Amino acid sequence: MGGSLPILPLRDVVVLPGTPMPLIVGRPGSVAAVQAAEAASGQVLLVTQRHGDVVEPREADLHEVGTVASLEEVIALPDGHLKVMLLGASRARLGPVTMDGSARMLRCTPEPMAAQGLDHPDLGAMVRMLRESVGRVLRLDPSAPAEMLARVEDTPDPEALADLLAATLQLSMEERQALLAEPDVKQRLETLLAAMQKELGFLEVQRKLRHRVDRDRERRAEEAWLADGTSSDTPRDEPDNDDRDDLADLVGLLRDKELPEEVRGRAERELRRLGRMNPMSAEAAVLRAWLDWVVQVPWVERSERLGDLKGAAAVLDEDHFGLDSVKERVLEHLAVDLLAPDAHAPILCLVGPPGVGKTSLARSIARATGRPFARIALGGVRDEAEIRGHRRTYIGALPGRILHAMKRAGTTDALLLLDEVDKMASDVRGDPASALLEVLDPEQNGQFSDHYLDLDYDLSSVMFVCTANRLDDIPLPLRDRLEILELGGYTEPEKRSIAQRYLVPRQRSQSGLPEDALTITDDALALLIRRYTREAGVRNLEREIGRLCRKRARARLEHDDTASITVDPDTVVDLLGPPRFDPRVADDQAEVGVVRGLSVGYAGGELLEIEVALVPGSGKLRTTGRAGEVLKESAEAARTWLRARHARFGLPADWHETTDLHIHYPGLPSGVEGPSAGIAMATALVSAATGRSVRAEVAMTGEISLRGRVLPVGGIKDKVLAAWRGGSRLVVLPARNERDLRDVPEDVRAALDIRLVSMVDEVLDLSLLDADPDGSSEHVGAWSASDAPQKRPEGDRSGGSVLDAPRLGVKSRGADDAQGG
């Protein structure tokens, strides 16, 4: 502040130190002052004019004390004015004022003003009294900013506190200028205490008057309520007819609505409150909306449930093909519901890949049980209030999705579908999965509390059905409350049956074609399933059938072709173009370091090829092909297992230090993750390290432990189906997954040789070929599905166990072949 500063004269406003102030600057001299400050130090002297109507003030028109302020932001407006954000810094007296004639701008060298009285012993008590007064003002004046008390508490300096309150209180411009010009801090605080006491007195009188008016209005509204059962919203001589009609409607709805006693008592109290309110007030609108929700949500209404088990079974069979385990569970529930109507409804979770019919199955369950159906889409939901609702204190508050669904259903025993529960997320707004814990817990959902209604709501009679694509993505506490029913992918015969029974007739009808206009052969459907779609369900298959029907509909209109056609494979290619997918089939050629694993992704079971190559290096392990963390951990476990057994395979003790391993997953399907590729990786590693080829007809799945044990995995049905579709003849599974084979269709089990193993050594015996002395791999003994199940006698080594083969190190020809890829 040592040099000359441009002066910015102010009309009808006083800026105090520490106070931000936005201004619109338009007078030529003021614009010039801002531009000069911006080009120099960024500081300007703010001085209030004695008379605001002076357009070009001179020194005599300005007060003697002003505020040095810094320019925080300057924005040029289209009309030539400037929008300026200033921040007051310190008090200063005007020095000799000069006029810059060309710019018509005033300048001076300000004289700093030092604060006085900072060491006075009464300052602490005065500061405390001011803070208490601010708290009383906030209690009496609802319009006062709530954060004001926090700002006062966070300002310990008496001088800064005085400037803060002087800028905040309802003071005239003259009073603020006097506080700005006062150097004694104690005197400033005394002035502010007097102003605060004056404000408190005014607020106290205002509070008493308001209380008296409210009490009189309540008395007259109560008299109107007792007189005719309705209430005008305000005590007027001529009540508004629309307001009275609205209240009369609410009274009638509440009178006719069957409600629990607690809910009725709360609703009637709120209705009386509404009758005493001004209908134009915001609180009246909130209260009216709350009462509307109370009378619209079902509290005791129940549906007329079906009591015919055979009829329910017929409905399920009519709507869906297969899915016997799910249908059986639904019929069990219906039987229990008939015998014990007050029993808790089940909470089912249908887990399966997209397109297998989870959502449509939930609709069928509702139809079979006679329950109203409502769907809640949870994909992408990340706010807890989506489940529990917002409290009424928020603007635009509403109940959560649960009560919205109950309102649509209209009864307390509806079937609510919670769709895509595995795709919820969480952030700073809360965790919706945690909010669902109360909803899906039979011991708690009888008193579900929505934040908006703030009343206990009984969900114990609701039948909840959840759907998910991946069980692992559901949080464990939520999963613990669900009865899991897994829906695997469909086999090709099942897809053909579904297409002929459901998809073709539906798409034909939606395309406006008569029943005899188009017929699709089983061979054409097989081509669509194998080469035009790749999925566990039938959603994309229905799309392709729909394309065929639409093309036929267009041909009927354009060429007046009303003849019936039969779609065969050639017609499919003509209408839809070349096939999109090559079939995932096992290669016929046995290779070194290449193993066919089995996986489950978003599209169901997949035949997964795993390639391993050994190259000279320093012992690094590299995985490529979009491998996830669990796949990488499985690769580490397989390598550690092989390192621990290097002598049994004829490998040098330091082979892992001089050899890099590269594991690649070509064409890894989306969503594939998990430990089930462990034995496939171990087999590929042994094959690459010893030079033995892997039989091309073998597919395998299973987790590996560091001790070489084969651990159970999930998705057995989908994986076996993938092996069958891919042309594998021998499938290696963990022995502890034997119980899961009952879910595999009988015709698929009959077509495959399924081997159950407990140790990795058994896997190697089944999958690796022996090597000739010249290093080439060959099949020792002709393997076939007929003789494979036979167990080799003890001591007989003719089967070519890899543990009994000649020991080959990484320098052998087999290792060189592996390094060559």
Q: Side chain identity at 459, as an amino acid letter? A: L
Q: Taking CA 1 as the corner, what is the angle to CA 4 and CA 87, rounded to the nearest 5 degrees?
A: 105
Judge contact between 92 and 110, C-beta under 8 A.
yes
Of 173, 141, 166, 140, the C-alpha closest to 152 is 166
Q: Looking at 303, 364, 676, 728, which residue is catalytic?
A: 676
Cβ contacts of 75 within 8 Å, gap of 6 or more:
82, 83, 84
Q: Taking Cα atoms as reference points, which of 292, 298, 334 lies closest to residue 315?
A: 334
Q: Contact at 8 Å (CB) between 713 and 674? A: yes
Spatial CA neighbour of 650 closest among 814, 414, 436, 445: 814
Cα(809)–Cα(256) distance, rounded to whole angstroms? Answer: 89
Whether 536 and 352 have beta carbons less than 8 Å apart is answered as yes
User: Rounded to a whole number, what is the largest CA-CA distance in the chain?
Assistant: 120
CA–CA distance, 392 with 453 (Å, rounded to integer): 8
Given a contact cutoff of 8 angstroms between Cβ atoms, the answer to whether 696 and 654 are in contact is: no
* Six-digit token string for 47: 């001085």
User: Would you call 92 helix, strand, or coil by DSSP?
Assistant: strand
* Separation of CA 764 from chain center: 44
Catalytic residue among 495, 719, 777, 812: 719
Q: How many CA atoms lie within 13 A of 374 on its CB side?
A: 20
Q: How many other C-beta atoms are found inside a 10 Å radius of the C-beta of residue 256?
A: 8
CA separation for the pair 731, 680 (Å, rounded): 12
Q: Which residue has the tokens 């954000």?
A: 85
Give yes or no for a contact between 25 and 90, defined as CB atoms under 8 angstroms apart: no
Output Rg (C-alpha) for the chain, integer angstroms.
41
Three-state SS at 493: helix
676 labelled catalytic? yes
What does the block give as tokens for 768?
A: 């690796």
Question: 43-48 and 5-10 as β-strands: parallel, antiparallel, unpaired?
Answer: parallel
The dihedral over CA atoms of 86, 87, 88, 90, expressed in degrees to the nearest 10, equals: -120
Choose among 684, 679, 694, 723: nearest CA to 589. 694
- Written as six digits, the tokens of 715 are 């998705």
Are 675 and 703 contacting, i.e. CB atoms less than 8 angstroms apart? yes
- SS3 (DSSP) at 43: strand
Q: Is 719 a catalytic residue?
A: yes
Distances (CA, A) of 579 to 501, 527, 582, 657: 24, 8, 8, 47
Positions annotated as catalytic residues are 676, 719
